[in-house]
Structure 1
Amino acid sequence: MSEHERLAESPSAESPWRLWGPYLAARQWGTVREDYSGNGDAWGYFSFDQARMRVYRWGEDGIAGICDRHGFLNFSLALWNGQDEILKERYFGLANSEGNHGEDVKEHWWITDGTPTHSWMRVLYRYPQRAFPYARLRELAAHAGRDHREPELSDTGVLDGDRFFDVRVSYAKAAPDDVCVEIEATNHGPEAAPLHLLPQLWFRNTWSWGRDARRPALIGSTVDGWARVVAEHSLLGRYTTHFDGAPTLLVTDNETDEAQLFGRAVNPSRYTKAGIGDHVVEGKTDVCQVVPAGGASQPGTKAAAWYRFDSVAPGESVTVRVRLIAGDGHGSAFGSTFASTMARRKDDADEFYADIAPDASPAEKKVARRAFAGLLWTKQHYRFRVREWLEGDPAHPPSPHERQGPHARNAHWKHMDVADVLSMPDEWEYPWFAAWDLAFHMVPFALVDPAFAKDQLLLLCREWLMHPDGQLPAYEWEFGDVNPPVHAWATLQVYRAEQEATGSGDRVFLARVFHKLLLNFSWWVNRKDPGGNYLFEGGFLGMDNIGPVNRSAPLEHGWRFEQSDATSWMATYALHLMQIALELARHDEAYEDVATKFVEHFLSIAQASTHFGSARRPIWDEEDGFCYDLVSRTLDGGHVEAQPVRVRSMVGLIPVLACAPLEPWVFAELPGFSGRLNYLLRRQPEFGQFLTWHTGADGERSALLSLLDDRKLRRVLTRMFDEAEFLSPHGIRSLSAAHRGGLEVEIAGAPHRIEYEPGESRTAMFGGNSNWRGPVWFPTNALLVQALCALDTFHHGAVTVELPTGSGNRVTAGEAARDLSRRLAGLFLPGPDGRRPADGKRIEGTDSPLWREHVTFSEYFDGDTGEGLGASHQTGWTALVAVLLAGWPGMCGK
C-alpha cells in the first residue's frame, strides 16, 4: 500500500493509520499545564532537574519518541555514555530566566524524513561521548548579556574532535498498530567509546490525581528467549513490545519520588520514575525491577530494555531493533517482515515526495522534504482541562488562592477542555499550539495532508477551544492574548489547494469554518474597535517587540493605540470572509447577503484607515508615504487628539496584504452582490478609490479591492524594496534598516527610543526570546509574496516596481514576488561559497560534512546575514519554504 492509499484510508483524526505518531512532546516541564504555583512561574515550579523524578499531570516528553493519539502509552529513547550524571531521557535547555535571550534548547537533533500517516519517520540525535555539560551551559548563559550570542553546546568543547554518537531512530509501520523501530548509533569520534541504549515504554500517569483510579500495567518478561513488555490499558487494550537480542529488562513505576524531592517519609510506590536511571547510572539496587532470564516482572507503569555496548570502535555502528504490536505480537517480530517493512516504507516516502516540487533542483527538493518532515514531527498530543487545572485535583492539596480569582492565568477560559493532536510551532521551545502559527502551518500541510489541515482549522474553532464570546485562543501562556486573524486566509489556502489537486473543493469544510469565524469577526469588532471608528487595536498581535513600547500594555493619561497592523489585518480578514461567502454563494444564495456585509465592512475600514477627516489622523501618512500606528485620546468636549508613531516597521507593510479580486463569475453569477456593490459606490463614491476595474477583451468585468490605491501602494513598495530600508538579501525585514542609528519618538507624551536590531533581541520585552526589530520572519514575508502575485495576476503584469529601489531595474509585481521567494528559499540553499546563510556562525556552518549536511529551520533570521535565530527547531511556519519551492495556488510560480 502506498502513502497516497494510506491517506485515502485516513480522512479523519480517528483513522487507524493516525493512531500512532510523533505526538510525544520534547518538553513537558516548564509548561503552563504543569504549573500549579500561585505566582505563575511555570519555569520555576516544574524544572528540568525535577523532570527525571517527578510525574507530569497533563502530558509526557522524551527523545525521538512516539505515542498514541490519546497520549496514554509512550515510547522514546534514553541513552547513557558512561559519564553523564543522569540518564539522558529528554533534551536539555535553559528556562526563560536562564537564557540570555529567553528559553533555549541546548541539544542537536534533526527530523530527517517522514510521511503524513507516520508510516515512515526518521530522526537523528547527536549525543556527546563526554559528560553532558549541564552546569557549564547554565554558567555560560548567566555570563552572556543580551548583546551576546546564545551559548551553544558546541561552545563547551564537548563536541570537539567529533566525539559524539549519531543516533538515528527510524520508525516504519507494518500496519496501523504494528510499528517497527530501528535505532542505529555510529561513533564519529577518534577513540572507542561506550554507549548504553535504553528504548523505553511507559504510561502517562492518570491514576494519581483522584479523578480516575484505573491503573494500566506493564509486565516485562524474557520467557523463551524473547525480551518483551506487555502493556494493558482500558482504552488501548493490549500491546506487546518486542526487543531484539538479549537486553536487560528494567521495570519501575511512573510515580514521583516524593521522598527525594519533597522530603516525604513514604513514596506512593516502592519504585519511582527515576528508578531506571538510578539503577543504570548510579548502580543502585532495589530502585526498579530487574527481570531475570526466563522470568517476568510484577506489573509496573514504566519499562526499559537496557542494551550495553562497552566499546564502540571509531566509525562503528551498533543497532537495536524494537517492535510495538497490538495484541500478543508474534514470535517472528524480527524476521524478514521487519527489514522489508523498513525498506518498503522508505520507498513509499521517496515515491510520495517525487511529485512534490517536481521542477525543483535536488538541493531544493532536499530542503522541501526536510521542511515537511519537521512540520509533520511537530504534531503533538495536547491535553488541558483548564477548569480542573485551576481548581486542582482531589488527591492533592488545594490550589493556592491566587489561582481562584479572576486574575489567575487563563481564568476566563474555564470552558477549554482539549485532548487532541495539534500542530505545534516546535517540540521544545513552544510545545503548545499558537493560533496564528497553526494557521500558517496548514498551508504546507495542505500539500501533503489536506485532511489533517482541514481538521486542524476546524478544531481551533470548536466549542472546546474557541471562547464562548468568539475569541480564538492565542497560546497557553495567555489564551486571551490576541493573534492576527489569519484563520480565514488559511482556510481559503487549504480549500484552494485541495481544489487544484482534486478538481473540487470541500465546501462543507469551508462552510463549517466560515460559520465559526462569523463569531470571531464579531468578537474583533466588538472588543478591538472600542471607538466604533473602524480603526482597530489588538496589542502586540504576534509581532512581539516591534514597537518602541509594549503595545499590549495600557498607555497613560487616556491615550490608546489605533494600530496600522490591527486595522489592516481586519481589512484583510473582511476580504477573506467575503471571498469564502462568495464561493459558498455559488451554490447557496443565502451566503450572498453575508458577502455584501463583508465588502461593506472592508470599505468602511479602508475609508477610516486612509482618510478620517480633519479631527482625526488616518493611519496613512501622506507626507512619508507610509502607514503608522496612531495613539489617540478623547479630550474634554469630545475633541479627539491623535498622533502617529513614526516608526517604519512591518506594521506599515501589513496594509499591502489587504487586497482581493472580484473575478468575472462574481458579477455573472451573483447579481445580488454586484447590485449591492454598485449601490454602495453610487451612494458613497469615495469608496471607489478602493476598487480597480478591468474589462477583458470579451467584455467581462473584474475588480480588485485594495486597502491601498495604486499611488499609495507604489509609495509603500518603494520603501519595501529599498535595500537601505526593508529589503535584505534574505527577505523583507521587520523594521527598516533606516533606524540603524536609533530613532526617538513621542508616545503619549513621553519619549521612547527604538533601534534596528537585525539579530537577537536586546530587550526583555515578551521574554526576549524573539525579535521583530529587524529580522526576517517567514509568515509575513510569505503573505507579501502572495499579495504581490495577486496584484500581478489582476493587472496582467502592468504593475511594475523598481527592484531594488534606486537601481533603475523595473520588474513586474510578479517578478518581484519571485525574487522575494528566491531570497527566502535561498536561506536554506548553498550559496556561491557553498554555505547556507541560515547556518550563519553556528556549528552547522562549519566545513565538517557531518554538520553541513543537516538543514535547520529556525524561528526567524538575521536581517543582514540571514543566520537562523530564536527557536532552533521551529519548522512550524518556516516550513512555508517548502510551499515556495513546491508551488502554491495563487502564486506566480517559482
Structure 2
Amino acid sequence: MTAEQQRLNVNATKKVPLEQWGPYVSERQWGTVREDYSENNDAWNYFPFSHAHSRAYRWGEDGIAGISDFFQNLCFGISLWNGKDPILKERLYGLGNYEGNHGEDVKELYYYLDNLPSHYYMEFLYKYPQQAFPYDDLIEKNRSRGKLEPEYEILDTGVFNDNRYFDVHITYAKCNKRDIGIKISITNRYKTAASITLLPTIWFYNRWQYGGVMSKPVISRVNSYTVKANHERLGNYYLYFPKTNEQFFTENETNTEKLFGKPNANPLVKDAFNDAIVHQQNVEYIKAQSQGTKFAPVYKYKIPAGRTQTIYLRLSDVLMDQPFAHGFEETFTQRKMEADEFYNEVLPKNIPAELKQVQRQAFAGLLWSKQYYHFDIERWISNSDGISPLSDQRRWGRNHDWQHLKNQDIILMPDKWEYPWYAAWDLAFHCIPMAMIDPNFAKHQLILVMREWYMKPDGQLPAYEWNFSDVNPPVHAWAALQVYYIEKEKTGVGDITFLKRIFQKLIINFTWWINRKDPNGNNIFEGGFLGLDNIGVFNRSIQLHGQMELEQADGTSWVGMYALNMMDMAIEIAMQDTSFEDTATKFFEHFVLIASALNEMGLWNDEDKFFYDILGAPGTKPLQLRIQSIVGLTSLFAVSIIQRNVLHKLEDFTKRITWFENYRLKNNKFWPNEERAESEKILLSLIPKEKLQALLQRMLNESEFLAPCGIRALSKYHEEHPYSVNIEGTDYNIQYDPGDSTSNFFGGNSNWRGPIWMPINFLIIQSIKKYGEFYDGTFTIEYPTGSGNYMELLEVANELTKRVIGLFQQNESGKRPLHGKYNWFYQQPGNEHLILFYEYFHGDNCSGLGASHQSGWTALVARLISEMKPSHHHGKVKHSQSSVKAV
C-alpha cells in the first residue's frame, strides 16, 4: 500500500475525511455575493478588484497559490512585484462581469501541476510578466468589443512575447500534518537579466472585527529567521524563512482613508506592503514593527537570463533551532516520489503516457480547487459590514428565504477564480473523478450538500450563491451511484451505508421536485433554466406572460432519470436490506408514469423525431418550441438495466412490476421496458427503441450535434435556420453560437448555444454504454450519420469518448485543440505539457472557452480516459440499413 493511501485510510476514519492544511484559499473573494452589502445586489461594483488589496474581507481570503488550515484561521500565499506594476501582485487579476464582453474572466496564466488528496505534495505554476501588467489594456479592449467578438486575453496583449516573463513555481511538501515545507523557484525565461521582488506572506483571516474570536490573533518576531503566529483556535505556528534585512508587519484591516476618506488609526493596514514596495511609503515604520496580523519577509532578486532563484520556507507548529537542517530539502523529493507511486497505483496501467499526464493534471486542478467556504445567510442579512448600513432591501432581497443556510466547510469549487462558490449540480460531477482518487471525500461532499445546514427544510438543494433558489438538474442520485460503483470497482466493496444515508436525504429532495415542479400533477415538469444557461429562446427562469406555462422536455427527463436512479439505488440496498424493496417499487412506478407523460403528452414531435418544450396557456393550442438542443437529448440519460438475479431475489418487487406491466399493456398504456429472450437483462429507459434510433441519428450527424470533439449543446442546424417565435407581440430568437455567448441571460459568461460541455458529453457516453450493454451488439447505427459506417453502441460510445479526449491531446504538429489560437505559446520549450481544463469548448474548432481552470466537471475527462477501450472496429464495415431497426 502506498504512503498516500495509508494517509487516506487514516482520514477515512474521521467524521470529515480531510487534512487540516490544504489549498483552501480562494483565488477571488472580491466581487462575490457574500462580500456584497449593497442595497441593489451589485456584488461586482460593491467590492471591486480595485478595493481588494486595501479592504479586509468579511467571509474569507484570497491569494496566489494559497494554503490555509481548514477553518482558514491562518493563510500563506505569495506576493510579487516586477518593478513596473502599479500594485503588488497579491492575487490573480480578472475582469468583473460588467467589464468583459462575455462577462467575468480571469486574465492570468497559472497552472495546477500536481497535488495529492492529502496535500502532502502540491505544485503550482504562475507566469508573471516582466513588463507592466496590462491592467488598463485588458479593460479597455474587452470593454470596446461586442458579443460577437472574442475576448481579449492576456496572451493577446504581447506581454508574454519573446518569453519576457518569470516562471514562479510554488511547491508544498508536508513533513507531517502540521509541518509544511515550501519551495519557491523563480525562473527568468527572458534573454537578459531581470529584477523581481518576492514576499512570501502569512496572514490571519480577519474575524476579530466581527466578533468571531475572543482575542485578536498575533504574528510576532521570534528571531531573524522566525515568526510565531498565535491564534486562540489554532494554537502556535512558526514560519521559518531565509534571513533578510527587510521584514514587514502590518494588520489585515481596511485602509479606510484610501477607500472611504475616513482616517486610519495607524498606517498598519492591509495594503501597507503594497505601498511600501511600490511607492516606498512608510517602509522604515513597518520594518520597525515586531508584530501584526500580516507578515512577509522581503527578497529582492536580479535573476540572470535563463537562471532560477530558489528559496525554502517552513510552516510548522513546532519551534525549531534548525528548521532547514540536512534532510529537509529531501522531503520534496520523497513526497514527489510518493505522488508518483500513488498515481501509478490508482490509474490504469495500459494507457499512453500523454493521457496519464492529462489525468494527473485533471486531478491536480480538481484537488487545488478545494476551497474554504464561509457564508451564514442569517448573519449576512441581519448585520452590517461596517461600511453600508442595514436596509430593508437586503432583509427581503437576495437569498432572504435561505436563512437556515450556514456554511463553513471545505468544498470542491467549479473554479476558484471564476466561480469561487459551490454549485449543487457542478459538485455532483466533481465527485466522480474525485472518487477515483479519494472516494471517502467524494462521498462526504455529496452528503454535505444534503445536510440540514445546506438543504432547505422543504427539500430544495441550494443552487449557488447568486440565487440559491435557482433549480439545477437533479443529478445527485446519479452521481452517488457513480461514486458508489467507482469505489466498489476500486476496493471490491460497496459502501451500502453511504447509499442509505444519501438515499434518505434524496427522498426529501425528490418529494420537493414532485410537489413544486409538477404544477399540473401530470408528470410533466418545469424547472426554469435547469443549469443550461442561454439554451432557450428566452430565459426559462423568468415569469412568463399571463397564465402561460412552460412544460419542459428536459425537466421531465431529468426527473425521470432521478426516479430511475433512485430505483437503482433502492435495489442495490435491498439486495442486502430487503426493507428497501418497497421504495424500489415506488420509484419504478413513478418512473413509468413520467416516461408515459414524456412520450404521450405532446413533447415528442413525430415530424422532427425530437423532444421539445411546450408553451401553453388556457384556451390556446400548446406551442412546441422547435429548438434542437440538449433539452431534447436529455431523454437519453434515463436508462437502467435490471439483472434477472435481482428479480429472483426481490420477489415482491418482481410481483408488483409484473402486475403493473400487465395492467398497463392490457389498457394500451405506455410501457418503458424491453426484454430479450436470450438475455439475463431487462432494459428500462424513458424512450422506446425507435425514438432512441431517431435521436441518435440526429445526434451523430456532423451537420447537427456531432462536433469534432464531442456533442454540441445546440444543433448546428440552427446556424442556417435560426428559430424565432412571437409571444404576445414580442419576438424571441435563437441561433447556433459555437463559441462565447451572444446573450446576457446569465451575465453573458456561460453559453449552452452550441459549445461542447464535458458533463453533458459524459452523461451521453455513459447512457449509450448502458444501451450498448443491453443490446450486446444487436443494435447498430450509422456513425457518423450519412457516412455509411455502422457500429454497435459500445463502439459508438468509445468513438465519442475519443473525440472528447481529443480536446486535450497533441496532434502531429504538437498542437492541442483546446489551446486554439494560443498553441504558439504552448509549443514553446517548457510549456508543452501545460493543460487547461476549460468550462466548455468551441462547437466547431474545439478551443477552450469560459472559465479557463474549470477543473471540476471538466476533470471528468480523467474518468473517460480510464474507461476508453482500444478500438478493434474502425467503422469500415457496412451493414444493411435494416440492422438499425428493433431486433
Considering the TM-score relative to the shorter chain, is it more than 0.5?
yes
Q: Distance in 1 between matches of 2:694 and 2:239?
A: 64
1:504-532 CA-partner distances (Å, limit 9, x unpaired): 11111111100000010011111111011
Q: Which residue of 1 aligns with 2:753?
A: 773
Q: Using the alignment, how far apart are the partners of 1:307 and 1:20 within structure 2?
A: 25
Show the 5 A alignment for 1:226-237: 226-237=224-235
Q: Distance in 1 between matches of 2:239 and 2:264?
A: 32
> Is 1:285 aligned to 2:282, yes or no?
yes
Is the counterpart of residue 856 in structure 1 residue 846 in structure 2?
no
User: How far is the alpha carbon of 1:265 from its aligned partner?
Assistant: 2.7
Counterpart in 2 of 1:99? 100
Instruction: Assess, with a 3 A threshold, how the Cα gap between structure 1 residues 277 and 553 changes in structure 2: closer, same or farther.
Output: same
Q: CA deviation at 1:210?
A: 4.1
Question: Does residue 1:496 correspond to 2:496, yes or no?
Answer: no
Deviation of 1:387 (Å): 0.4
- Residue 551 of structure 1 aligns with which residue? 540
* Partners of 2:377 and 2:404 within 8 A in 1: yes
Cα offset, 1:501, TM superposition? 1.2
Query: In 2, Cα distance between the equivalents of 1:879 and 1:3?
Result: 21
CA separation of 1:847 and 1:397: change in aligned 2, threshold 3 A: closer
After TM superposition, the structure 1 = structure 2 runs for residues 644-683 of structure 1, keeping only pairs within 5 Å, are 644-683=624-663
Q: 2:696 aligns with which of 717, 733, 753?
A: 717
Instruction: List aligned pairs for 1:420-431, cutoff 5 A.
Output: 420-431=409-420
Which of 263, 273, 276 aligns to 1:276? It is 273
| 1:832-860 CA-partner distances (Å, limit 9, x unpaired) | 33211001013565542344331111000
Partner of 2:579: 590
The structure-2 alpha-carbon separation of the partners of 1:864 and 1:165, relative to structure 1 and needing over 3 Å to count, comes to: same
One-letter identity of the residue aligned with 1:682: N
Q: Would the aligned equivalents of 1:250 and 1:288 in 2 still touch at CA under 8 Å?
A: no
Residue 320 of structure 1 is matched in structure 2 by 311
State the 1:587 CA deviation.
1.9
Of residues 375, 392, 402, the one that matches 1:384 is 375
What is the aligned partner in structure 1 of residue 364 from structure 2?
373
2:603 — aligned with what?
A: 619
Which residue identity does 1:354 align to in structure 2? N
Shift of the alpha carbon at 1:13?
A: 6.4
CA 1:94–1:844: 2 relative to 1, 3 Å: farther
Q: Distance in 2 between matches of 1:445 and 1:580?
A: 20
d(CA) in 1 for partners of 2:768, 2:245: 59
Listed as ranges, the matches of 1:506-585 within 5 Å are 506-585=495-574
Tell me if structure 2 keeps the 8 A contact 1:220–1:251. no
How many angstroms apart in 1 are the aligned matches of 2:800 and 2:788? 18
User: Per-residue deviation at 1:71?
Assistant: 1.1
SS in 2 for 1:660: strand
Cα distance, 1:238 vs. partner? 0.5
**1:693 maps to 2:658:** no
What is aligned with 1:615?
none
Q: 1:15: how far off?
A: 6.5
Cα deviations by residue, 1:65-96 (Å, 9 ceiling, x for unpaired): 10111111000000011111111000010000
Q: What amino acid maps onto 2:251 in structure 1?
A: D
Q: Cα–Cα, structure 1 residues 389 and 877, in superposed 2: closer, same or farther, change >3 Å?
A: same
Match of 1:799 among 763, 768, 779: 779
**Whole-Å separation in 1 of the counterparts to 2:727 and 2:135:** 46
Given that 1:645 and 1:745 are in contact with CA atoms closer than 8 Å, whether structure 2 keeps it comes out as no
Which is worse superposed, 794-803 or 748-757?
Answer: 748-757
Picking from 724, 742, 756, the partner of 2:736 is 756
Q: In 2, distance between residues paired with 1:271 and 1:53? A: 11
Which segments of 5 or more consecutive residues in structure 1 lack a partner in the other structure?
292-296, 613-617
CA distance in 1, matches of 2:8, 2:706: 41
Shift of 1:655: 0.2
- Checking the alignment, whether the CA contact within 8 Å between 1:251 and 1:288 is kept in structure 2 is no
- Tell me the secondary structure at the aligned position of residue 542 of structure 1: coil
**TM-score, normalisation: structure 1:** 0.95
Q: Deviations over 1:855-888 (max 9, x none)?
A: 1110000011000000011111000111111239
**C-alpha contact (below 8 Å) 2:477/2:506 kept by paired residues:** yes
Q: Is the 8 A contact 1:856 1:873 kept in 2?
A: yes
Q: Distance in 2 between matches of 1:211 and 1:191?
A: 50
Distance 1:284 1:304 in 2: 16
- Paired amino acid for 1:553: I
Out of 292, 300, 308, the position equivalent to 1:300 is 292
Q: How does 1:324-473 map to 2 (within 5 A)?
A: 324-328=315-319, 330-355=320-345, 356-393=347-384, 398-405=389-396, 408-473=397-462
- How big is the shift at 1:245? 3.9
- Give the partner amino acid of 1:273: K
Following the alignment from structure 2 to structure 1, what is the Cα–Cα distance between the partners of residues 381 and 351? 51
Residue 410 of structure 2: SS of its match in structure 1? strand
How far apart are 1:397 and its partner, in Å?
5.7
The secondary structure found in structure 2 opposite 1:338 is coil
Partner of 2:617: 633
| 2:315 alignment partner, SS class | strand
1:111 aligned to 2:112? yes
1:482 has 2:466 as partner: no
TM-score (norm 2): 0.95
Q: 1:866 aligns with which of 846, 868, 871?
A: 846
1:512/1:325 CA distance change after superposition, 3 Å: same
Contact 1:382 1:418 in 2 (8 A): yes
Q: Deviations over 1:730-781 (max 9, x none)?
A: 0000001111124233254443221111111112121110111110000010
Kindly tell me: are residues 846 and 303 of structure 1, through their superposed partners in 2, closer, same or farther at Cα, counting changes over 3 Å?
Answer: closer
- The counterpart of 1:825, out of the listed 780, 801, 805, is 805
Partners of 1:394 and 1:320 in 2: CA distance: 39
**In the alignment, residue 270 of structure 2 is paired with which amino acid?**
K
- Cα 1:401–1:304, aligned 2, differ >3 Å: closer, same or farther? same
Identity over the aligned pairs, expressed in percent?
A: 44
Match of 1:735 in 2: 714
Aligned partner (choices 869, 875, 884) of residue 855 of structure 2: 875
Is the Cα contact below 8 Å between 1:817 and 1:892 reproduced in 2?
no
- Are 2:592 and 2:671, in contact at CA under 8 Å, matched by a contact in 1? no
Sort the Cα spacing of 1:508 and 1:247 in 2 relative to 1 into closer, same or farther, 3 A: farther
- 3-state SS of paired residue (1:239): strand
Which residue of 1 is the match for residue 257 of structure 2? 259
Aligned-partner Cα distance in 2 for 1:643–1:412: 34
Distance 1:193 1:12, change over 3 A: farther
Shift in Å, 1:682: 1.6
Residues 17 and 441 in structure 2, CA contact (< 8 A), matched pair in contact too: no
Cα displacement (A) at 1:400: 2.2
Deviations for 1:277-311, whole angstroms, at most 9, x for unmatched residues? 111111111685315xxxxx4431000111111x2
Q: Which amino acid aligns with 1:624?
A: D
> 1:633 is aligned with what amino acid?
A
In structure 1, distance between residues paired with 2:738 and 2:286: 54
How many residues end up aligned between the 2 structures?
868
- Of residues 276-285 and 163-172 in structure 1, the stretch that sits farther from structure 2 once superposed is 276-285
Give the residue type in structure 1 aligned to 2:611: C
Asked if 2 retains the 8 angstrom alpha-carbon contact of 1:127 and 1:165, the reply is yes
- Report the residue type matching 1:157 in the other structure: G
Give unmatched runs, 5+ long, in structure 2: 875-887
SS of corresponding position for 1:232: strand
What code does the residue aligned with 1:761 have? S
Distance in 1 between residues matched to 2:457 and 2:340, nearest whole Å: 45
Superposed displacement of residue 500, structure 1:
1.2
Task: Sort the Cα spacing of 1:893 and 1:476 in 2 relative to 1 into closer, same or farther, 3 A.
Answer: farther
